[in-house]
Amino acid sequence: MAERRRVLVTGASGLVGRRLLPVLLDDDWAVRGVTRDPGRARLPVGAEPVGWDGTRPPAATLTGCEAVIHLAGEPVFGGPVTAARRERILASRVDSTRALVDAMARLAPSERPRTLLCASAVGYYGSRGEEPLPESAPPGAGFLADVCVAWEAEARAATQLGVRTASLRIGVVLAHEGGALAPLARIFRLGLGGRIGSGAQWFPWIHADDLVSLIRAALGDARFAGAVNAVAPNPVRNQDFTRQLSRVLRRPAVLPVPAFAVRALLGEISGELLGSRRVIPQRALDAGFAFEHERIDSALATELG
């Protein structure tokens, strides 16, 4: 019997990892799940748990792995934006990616993974108003744009080792169990929801299951290399997202959140909610990838209906 292909997944117990690992196991991958606390992570049966400090993988982590899916990163909206949190946001992405690529470099060429799929974010583009943003668009300005540029540069270094590398510029992931949608749904159920700022800004999103399917497709398709916009093909404006969320939850959305309040609360991260990014998944569309949830009403109804 042929040996099963092995894949390493960092951030295995995170929002995307929890949905991804069962799918990989069903596809007969031998899954090695990297997490900060293997004892409490509750990875699915069949996954091999591996602990790390969030930055440096254990020396033997990559042994025998055909592919690496690097999803780990400090949550952007995980607390006040202090200097310490900015450092954690940067290190958990940039330093951890550098450490993974360095670990690949220490392996003999024949033993290196063939594929690295590394998370990035639509924050790469900064705030761009009405401009359509396929993968060829240049980076924008701001703290998170700078983080994404540095993050992708570290991942791209793996190509010098003969590793096919894709940086997934992920939009807002819609999943009922976490991410941005869960707290938003709680606010709306209390009747306190509303558009953010003007509401005219573009809101790039993707259903969690479509993100998992895109990762699955990228594992086996060499056309997925370089930047890959991991967003649904129909971005919506913030006010339209608000309207659909209100409709699905059968709650009013009449209390807009003023832009100055968002800036006061989030500081330099406020652009992630107030900024406009009309991101287009051109590379996925060119590869013929089929999104199950192309429209926001379908995605929200599936998760919250």
- Label each residue of the chain as H, E or C: CCCCCEEEEECCCCHHHHHHHHHHHHCCCEEEEEECCCCCCCCCCCCEEEECCCCCCCCCCCCCCCEEEECCCCCCCCCCCCHHHHHHHHHHHHHHHHHHHHHHHCCCHHHCCCEEEEEEEHHHHCCCCCCEECCCCCCCCCHHHHHHHHHHHHHHHHHHHCCEEEEEEECEEEECCEECHHHHHHHHHCCCCCCECCCCCEECEEEHHHHHHHHHHHHHCCCCCEEEEECCCCCEEHHHHHHHHHHHHCCCCCCCECHHHHHHHHHHHHHHHHCCCEECCHHHHHCCCCCCCCCHHHHHHHHHC
pTM score over 0.75: yes
> Which structural domains are found in the chain, ordered by start?
6-171+207-231+278-291 (3.40.50.720)
- pLDDT at res. 1: 47
pLDDT per residue as tens digits for the range 30-40: 999 999 988 88
pLDDT per residue as tens digits for the range 229-266: 999 999 999 999 999 999 999 998 888 877 777 777 66
pLDDT per residue as tens digits for the range 160-202: 999 999 999 999 999 999 888 888 888 889 888 888 888 999 9
